[in-house]
Amino acid sequence: MIFAKKNSYMKIFLALCLSLLTSQTFAQDAKAQGILDKLSTKMKSMKSFYIEFNASVKNNTTGTNENEFGKGWVKGNKFYASYGDNAMICNGVKTWTIIKEDRSVYESDASEDDEESINPKRLMTIWETGFKNKYDHEGNFNGKPVHIINLYPKVPSKAEYHTIQLYISKTENELVKAIMKTKDGTTMTYSVTKFTANPTIDDSKFVFDRKKYPGYPVIKD
């Protein structure tokens, strides 16, 4: 994934993802870059996708130990994503972030650079800009061989994290796990449990229906 600045560890993940958007030229690890380029090509060739994942957020210092289940549907520049009790809906023009804890909906313009939204497709291509990469080693995840690649922010002073570790399936050429380590000692682990390429998704999936959230004020950014 992630879905609103009003949620504490979602804020961290949001800032982490957005800090990756700074584009500069750095020398990259040739082996790692080749694997990531191949993965990017595959993701960009899809007209739609569906994803399910488990997420854990841990910090021994603060005592944080949380686990959530997330899923997302993506079709072009539209998406619907949920993370625990929270959700995001984007119709390509506007993005609505629904926060159950706050009983509020946050509305913003849809934009690739929108600091209040994270498109699940962008989350599945976080390696494309804003960091250096280095091939670490080959390993196994759920009994399957994977490439393990480390990412490091190009501008550490502006990043919330210091390392992202990607697990990429050697056989399916898919991202199956990401471990994100922030400067404050938080470790966020996202494990993909299901990925479906090019499913049929009706456009009604990306329509925000205010009547489904009675008593939730819509706050426009």
Tell me whether residue 1 is in a domain: no
Q: What is the mean pLDDT of residues 62-68?
A: 91
> Which of 57-61's residues contact partners 24+ apart within 8 Å by CB, and which partners?
57/9, 57/186, 57/187, 57/188, 58/186, 58/187, 58/188, 58/189, 59/184, 59/185, 59/186, 59/187, 60/185, 61/184, 61/185
Q: Do the beta carbons of residue 164 and residue 179 sit within 8 Å?
A: yes
* CATH value at residue 57: 2.50.20.10
Q: What is the pLDDT of residues 77-128, one digit of tens each?
A: 899 989 888 999 999 899 999 999 999 999 988 865 443 344 566 666 677 6
d(CA 144, CA 171): 8
- Report how far Cα 76 is from the mean position of its chain's Cα atoms: 16
Asked if pLDDT for residue 170 goes beyond 60, the answer is: yes
Strand partners, 188: 57, 180
d(CA 107, CA 109): 7
d(CA 110, CA 88): 11
Tell me whether residue 2 is in a domain: no
Q: What is the mean pLDDT of residues 53-75?
A: 91
Average pLDDT, the chain: 82
- How many independent structural domains does the chain possess? 1
Listed in sequence order, the residues at least 6 apart from 142 whose beta carbon sits closer than 8 Å to its beta carbon are 176
Range of the domain at 78: 8-220
Q: What is the pLDDT of residues 13-47, one digit of tens each?
A: 444 444 433 333 344 689 999 999 998 899 889 99
Q: Do the beta carbons of residue 191 and residue 72 sit within 8 Å?
A: no
Q: Return the pLDDT at 25.
A: 36
Q: Return the pLDDT at 155.
A: 83
d(CA 190, CA 200): 25
d(CA 114, CA 127): 18
